[in-house]
Structure 1
Amino acid sequence: MPKITSISPVAAEAARAAEVSAVSDTASASAVPSMTGPSGCRGRRKKPGGALFATVGWVVALACLLPMLAVSLAALTGGTETIRHLMDTVLPGYVGTTLVLVLLVALGTGMVGVGAAWLVTMTRFPGVRVMEVVLILPLAFPAYVLAYAYTFVLDHPGVVQTTLRQVTGWGPRDYWFPEIRSVGGAAVMLVLVLYPYVYLLARAAFLQQSAGAFLAARALGNTSLQAFWRVSLPMARPAIASGVLLAVMETIADFGTVSYFGVQTFATGIYTSWFSLADRAGAAQLALCLLGFALTLAVAERATRGRARYHHAGKHQAKMPPVDLHGFKAALAFGLCVLPVLLGFLLPVVILAQMGMESEQNLFSKRYLGFLQNSLTLAMTAALLTVVAAVCLGFYQRLRPGRPSALAGHVSRLGYAVPGGVIAVGLMVPFAAFDNTLDAWMQANFEIRTGLLITGSIWLLVAAYMVRFLAAALGAYEGGQSTVHANMDAAARSLGQSPLGMLRRVHLPILTPSLMTALLIVFVDVMKELPATLIMRPFNYDTLAVQAYRLASDERLEGAAVPSLVIMLVGLLPVILICRQVGRRS
């Protein structure tokens, strides 16, 4: 927890009072029986501000629930003709391709992330300290940016195949080369940028394991590999499953990579139905299918994890001693760790830099400065709104613990399991209906055309970002809030602070680092978000992500490298923070 001397006088006084009250929680509770706080006392008197946070918390929760309800309603009222046509034509292909992509990414991220985590935590070889930090770097890249870079190099007119034909004298049909624009190619791009989710969680799980169970397995005659497979891996399964689930959620939400590679998934189907075919009912029904698929994965993972229980023998169990590797084994371990960093970060940076220098795009031109300004405006506005919503919701859960606040929190976290395209459709459908109804009523009664007041506005797009990324902001806020002892709330209330005053003068000064982390995470996520931005952005209001997608769609990959590099550089900011934390714990 940050030093109390740097916070407000009320927070410092509350901290001193909390230290005194911590001697006896029972005496503290009896001394202030009318407090509103996490103590859970019945009959406590509600102070001004508690109702405010409850209201705002439920408004945020209902806003997160609205897209899912709207998609469901629009899909169920759209008639059966559209869904029958989809089932006869493209729906089986969407289902099959999405499932194959999900399975490949889950398998790939699991193997790379778990393997790298085991090597850097359980073995020692030259460069291991550097490797355990730099393995996080590919997280800075959106998958579609990697797709642009590798297509430029590996496609038929790229430098690799061109050089191969020049050296061998082969013609275009004389050799076989892996097709980058395929389901397999899309899976590789997604694995390279998403494996850090699994790596971070698996590494933390391996570091927390004690040596007892592993050494007992070795004593029973198991090799190191068998002990890892039978003991260490099952104990880390909840963490690994959570990381794989995050990667899978990002996979089904991805639009830029699969669209550019021509892979037909639910994400591309929603965009095609909405824009190319102008079929709103079809888009809503596809969005409902994707929503059901995402929520099924989340519920299934939570259910299986909830039945699993893993216990360590004691708090003071010795940690597993790392194995020193030498010679060929050390070189092999270093090569296995450096390979995903090379393919997922170093090589794409070099390729994009070369592409950018060969392009005619000027990042400092008036047009590009407009793209940058639009991206920064959206990202900063969405980040501020999302963090404010997370603070209100999280503080409501702290003030009034119970089923209502817990339900509001669970509903608000659903947005992260919902792809951006689904959220976009879910918000566009009701607000477009509202705008059209209002316009018709105003024209009939006052002969005034109101047009589209909400649909196509920046604020609706910002609301979509808030729904999509509120779970990330809540996680960062609650992680910091857990360090604020309940006695500090009691002390602040005994000093006459209302809930709003307690939040402003005690919690927020202490939680500033956590709030800044949440702001940064949401800011970068908004900068990289593509499907929601493509569907909901105002007319002629393009961002760097949209510009990169547009240039890549026109096969102007050198030009797409310039905005892609800016997006990657911005994405490095939270990754640097994570690297610093990993470095401290090493």
Structure 2
Amino acid sequence: MAQEITSNAAGGAPPAPRRKIFRIKSPAWFTLAGALAVVAAVPVLVILSYLLTPNHEIWSHLAENVLGTLAVNTVLLLACIIPLTTISGVGLGWLTGACDFPGRKFFAWALVLPFAIPPYVFAFVYLGIFDFTGPVQTFIRSIFPSIGFIDIRNFGGVSVILSLAFYPYVYLMSRSAFMTQGRTAIEAARTLGHSPAKAFFKVALPMARPFIAAGLVLVCMESLADFGAVSIFNYDTFTNAIYKAWFGMFSLESAAQLSSLLAIIILTALVAEQKMRSKMRYTEAGRSNKAERLKLSGPWKWLAFSSCALVFILAFALPCIKLMQWGFEAVETDLARYFEYSLNTLLLGLAGATITTVAALALSFAKRNDPGSLMNWSTRIATLGYALPGTVLAVGIFIPAAWLDSNIASLLKPVGIDTSNMIQGSLGLMIAAYGIRFLAAGFGAVDSAIQRITPSIGEAARTMGATGISMLRRIYIPMLRKGLLTGAILVLVDVMKEMPITLMMRPFGWDTLAVKIFEYTSEGEWELAAIPAVVLILVGLFPVMLLTRQMDK
């Protein structure tokens, strides 16, 4: 204290107040955010608890018969996907972000369109094209009759499929990096005698490394979480094994044990992704030279055009053309049932989007009113579900729901009330699972919009007597309409395309478009699966258009 008084008396500036890490400014909003965090944390803790209380018989069986195959298959899968997505994503990101060639403006947004196609749709389309009775192998046998069956149901085939589905993650991140670098660094390298290719590898690529690494971490997480594509290719991974353990062997405990391992792997990848993201810097180098692109000439510009066109055809145009062909062949079937599946899908999507967007708005407004470290941690935990595969989340939610059902039934049985399966297998529980899974998507859109509202607006509203819910309803919601709509559309499409949660938790007889695609493809009925697939792709184009619009800005 004496030292502080002496410093002030000498004219020195008073020391900055220490940041209160555990302060709570708005208890009501913190309680709401904490409740959302608890709900999201329950399935994670349930899954991780199986690591602390292992069943030695199950673990020994898994170790002898399952884990080795799953580990090898997973390593092979990632070993193929990582280089494929790196080469395609970084290469296309450099061409559209830093170069100029014919068709660049078109490919800049068109190469994002594969985001609209679910991976399981990629899987059955290319399986139908390259299967034994497909056009490719039929054509090969017509020329070379001695060639037998070429099986693409292996790690190579599924790796190519998932690479076509997930390369946009790396493409978007690397393109953003190359666009924000400007031309100053490249020009400096050129003045030192480096060729354009050497300047790319020596300067541009190292500067974009954190962005590329973060995109690859997302690719790895999505690859580990994929269920539909690996199931269609009958390629055993953790997600596929979890489903088989639950619905094939009817062993929920085995599914939980496998889920605990996958959860650890995914959470480790999430921590790595957050660490990579923390190293990113969005400062532009040479802003005044940003518009100057490397103009490709001669054969190089046509090579760039051909590379972009090839990826666009393989990742979007060809699957869409094949689906429309199959759809026309199956149009004579009973379309009334497709209307029922579409209606079920839309109802689930609207319910999930409404609940998730409301929760995202409440969480974002709570963070706005109490921007402390505790609130930041509550927000991170509440949005953790997006990092978990649908199969893991379904197991983690179903176990406590079954426990609650059992206890409620035992309490009400003496009075003659039957409450069996009141919670598990209900639409409410499935919609809650959607909310936990996709809260991060809705929160990202809403929170980005709320950050654009200056704090002075809230302070002015308080001076006029608006507080809490009144301020949210009268001030923030009208100003957040665009962000709320964006978040709702993103969640709506994610829910409509979600396969594992719907497949594992839906009530009996409640079928959706994604479920029917899984059932039809399991039976090899590509034509019947095409119609619901086309509907899902058309719906998926909405968030992709929003994404490309934001990317252009």
User: Fold conserved (TM > 0.5)?
Assistant: yes
Stretch moving more, 58-67 or 100-109:
100-109
Does the CA-based 8 Å contact 2:24-2:30 persist in structure 1? no
- Give the letter aligned to residue 299 of structure 2: F
Paired position in structure 2 for 1:245: 217
**Cα deviation, residue 72, structure 1:** 1.9
**Cα deviation, residue 513, structure 1:** 0.9
Is 2:518 aligned against 1:549?
A: yes
> Residues of 1 paired with 2:339 and 2:281: CA distance?
53
Paired position in structure 2 for 1:4: none
Q: What secondary structure does 2:97 align onto?
A: helix
> Residues of 2 paired with 1:110 and 1:464: CA distance?
32
Seen in structure 2, the aligned counterparts of structure 1 residues 448 and 273 have a Cα distance that, compared at 3 Å, is same
- Give the letter aligned to residue 262 of structure 2: L
**Cα deviation, residue 358, structure 1:** 1.8
Is 2:432 aligned against 1:460?
A: no
Query: Which one of 102, 105, 109 corresponds to residue 85 of structure 2?
Result: 109
**Cα deviation, residue 199, structure 1:** 1.4
Stretch moving more, 242-251 or 277-286:
242-251
**Cα deviation, residue 189, structure 1:** 1.2
Query: Which one of 488, 494, 497 corresponds to residue 528 of structure 1?
Result: 497
Q: What secondary structure does 1:401 align onto?
A: coil
- Equivalent positions of 1:127-526 (< 5 A) are 127-170=103-146, 172=148, 177=150, 179-306=151-278, 308=279, 316-319=287-290, 321-359=292-330, 362=333, 364-365=335-336, 367-443=337-413, 445-526=414-495
> Residues of 2 paired with 1:164 and 1:510: CA distance?
60
Is 2:96 aligned against 1:120?
A: yes
> Residues of 1 paired with 2:239 and 2:352: CA distance?
23
> Residues of 2 paired with 1:100 and 1:375: CA distance?
34
> Residues of 1 paired with 2:303 and 2:24: CA distance?
65
For 1:417-465, what per-residue CA distance to the aligned partner results, in whole angstroms no more than 9, with x for missing partners? 111111100000011011022213322x223321111100011111111
Q: Which segments of 5 or more consecutive residues in structure 1 lack a partner in the other structure?
A: 1-39
> Residues of 2 paired with 1:131 and 1:340: CA distance?
10
Does the CA-based 8 Å contact 2:41-2:382 persist in structure 1? yes
Query: Which one of 525, 544, 547 corresponds to residue 575 of structure 1?
Result: 544
Paired position in structure 2 for 1:36: none
- Give the letter aligned to residue 329 of structure 1: W
- Give the letter aligned to residue 337 of structure 1: C
Return the TM-score normalized by structure 1.
0.87
**Cα deviation, residue 312, structure 1:** 5.3
**Cα deviation, residue 185, structure 1:** 1.2
**Cα deviation, residue 317, structure 1:** 5.0
Stretch moving more, 419-428 or 76-85:
76-85
> Residues of 2 paired with 1:377 and 1:474: CA distance?
21
- Give the letter aligned to residue 553 of structure 1: S
Does the CA-based 8 Å contact 2:356-2:438 persist in structure 1? yes
For 1:454-513, what per-residue CA distance to the aligned partner results, in whole angstroms no more than 9, with x for missing partners? 100011111111111111111111111121011111111111111222211221111111
**Cα deviation, residue 77, structure 1:** 3.3
Does the CA-based 8 Å contact 1:53-1:396 persist in structure 2? yes
Q: What secondary structure does 1:542 align onto?
A: coil
For 1:48-81, what per-residue CA distance to the aligned partner results, in whole angstroms no more than 9, with x for missing partners? xx54432221111111101111112245435211
CA RMSD in angstroms comes to: 2.2
**Cα deviation, residue 103, structure 1:** 3.1
> Residues of 2 paired with 1:361 and 1:547: CA distance?
18
> Residues of 1 paired with 2:470 and 2:355: CA distance?
20
**Cα deviation, residue 361, structure 1:** 6.3
- Give the letter aligned to residue 419 of structure 1: P
Seen in structure 2, the aligned counterparts of structure 1 residues 533 and 57 have a Cα distance that, compared at 3 Å, is same
For 1:30-55, what per-residue CA distance to the aligned partner results, in whole angstroms no more than 9, with x for missing partners? xxxxxxxxxx999x997xxx544322
Q: Which segments of 5 or more consecutive residues in structure 2 lack a partner in the other structure?
A: 1-18
- Give the letter aligned to residue 84 of structure 1: S
Q: What secondary structure does 2:289 align onto?
A: coil
> Residues of 2 paired with 1:336 and 1:464: CA distance?
40
- Give the letter aligned to residue 122 of structure 2: L
**Cα deviation, residue 204, structure 1:** 1.7
Does the CA-based 8 Å contact 2:360-2:442 persist in structure 1? yes
**Cα deviation, residue 336, structure 1:** 0.7
- Give the letter aligned to residue 536 of structure 2: I
Seen in structure 2, the aligned counterparts of structure 1 residues 112 and 569 have a Cα distance that, compared at 3 Å, is same
Paired position in structure 1 for 2:76: 100
Does the CA-based 8 Å contact 2:181-2:284 persist in structure 1? no
- Give the letter aligned to residue 164 of structure 1: I
- Give the letter aligned to residue 455 of structure 1: Q
Runs of 4+ in structure 1 over 6 Å off? none
Higher relative contact order (CA 8 A, sep 6+): 1
Seen in structure 2, the aligned counterparts of structure 1 residues 218 and 51 have a Cα distance that, compared at 3 Å, is same
> Residues of 2 paired with 1:507 and 1:108: CA distance?
44
Does the CA-based 8 Å contact 2:213-2:276 persist in structure 1? no
Seen in structure 2, the aligned counterparts of structure 1 residues 41 and 433 have a Cα distance that, compared at 3 Å, is closer
Percent identity between the aligned chains? 39
Paired position in structure 2 for 1:3: none
Q: What secondary structure does 2:412 align onto?
A: helix
Paired position in structure 2 for 1:16: none
> Residues of 1 paired with 2:334 and 2:267: CA distance?
40
**Cα deviation, residue 576, structure 1:** 2.1
Return the TM-score normalized by structure 2.
0.92
> Residues of 2 paired with 1:573 and 1:347: CA distance?
20
